[in-house]
Amino acid sequence: MKQITLENSNIHKGNLILVNEEHPIEEKYAANDTALVNIDFWNHNILLDYLAAKELSHLMNELECGNDIVPVKGYQKSSAYADLSKDEEHSTGLAVDLSANVISKVFMSRGFPKKGICQEFRKLASKYGFIERYPKTKENITGVEYQPGHFRYVGYPHSVIMEELDITMEEYLKTIEEYSARQKAFCYRDKENLYEIFSVKADENVSTTVEIADNIPFTVSGNNIDGFVMTLSLKQQRALT
C-alpha cells in the first residue's frame, strides 16, 4: 500500500467539480489562460481546458461532420456573469455550448435538435467524457432550465456511468459520497478495465491522506464541495485474480 497526499485547496479543481448555485466556483480557482487551448478544428476564438478540447476534437473527428456543428461558447471569466449561475460553469474551461450550423444561427432549444448530426454527437459524447449537463427532465435537480447544446467534460468513465444511470452530476456525486476508500468502492467495468471509484472527505488540515494499493493507475478530482473523487483503473485480468 502507498499513501497519497491530497492538498485540500484542490477540492475546487478537477474534471468532477460541481458548479451550481449552491456550489459556485471562486474566481481564484477558475481556469486560467495558461491551462486553456483554442478549439483548433473550428475557426473560432473559443477556449477550453486542454483535455476537454482534445477529447472534443477526437469526438468531432469520429463524427466527420465538418462544420455542421459549431461552438457558441467555451471558457469565460466568472466575473463577466457572476449573477448567472447557469453560466458560471464556463469559468472552469470544462463546458462548451454547441449549435447546429444553420442559417438562423439560433441557439438553445432549436439550435441543437435531437435529430441528425446533433443526435449523433449526443450518442458519442459520453465515450469521450462529455455529458449533456442540463437535461429537460432534471431541471428540478440542476436548478437550470433545459439547455440541449450545453455539454460538460467530466471524463471517462464518469460520463458513461451518468448516462447509463440517467443521472446528473448532482446525483452522481451524491451517489459516490456513499463509497469511501475504507469501504466498498463504486465499481464500473468496460471491455478492458475495472474502475473503482470512491470519495475522500477533506479533513481539517491543509492536506488529506489516503491509502491505495501499489502500482495501480489512478486519477483524482475535487468535487468543489467537501473533498475528492478518486478513480482507480485496474486491468480486467488483474481485477479477476
The tens digit of pLDDT for each residue in 50-69 reads 999 999 999 999 999 878 89
The mean-pLDDT minimum among 55-64, 82-91, 209-218, 225-234 falls in 82-91
Backbone angles phi, psi at 57, to 5 degrees: -65, -45
CA gap 196, 9 in Å, rounded: 24
In the three-class reduction of DSSP (H, G, I as helix; E, B as strand; rest coil), residue 104 is classed as: coil
Asked whether residue 3 carries a pLDDT value surpassing 60, the answer given is yes
Domain with CATH 3.30.1380.10 in the chain: 23-153
Ranges of CATH 3.30.200.180 domains, the chain: 1-16+155-241
For residue 210, list its beta bridge partners.
4
pLDDT attached to residue 40: 63
Q: Is the pTM of this model over 0.85?
A: yes
**pLDDT value of residue 239:** 47
CATH no. for 1-16+155-241: 3.30.200.180
- Exposure pattern of 175-213 as b/e (b: 16+ CB <10 Å)? bbbebbbeeebbebeeeebbbbbbbbebeeeeebebebe
Cell numbers found for residue 218 = 489512478
Q: Is the peptide bond before 135 cis (omega within 30 degrees of 0)?
A: no
Q: Which three cell numbers stand for residue 80?
A: 463577466
Write the pLDDT tens digit of every residue in 25-35.
Answer: 877 777 776 68
Q: What is 23-153's CATH number?
A: 3.30.1380.10
Contact 94, 72 (CB under 8 A): no
Mean pLDDT of 99-123: 77
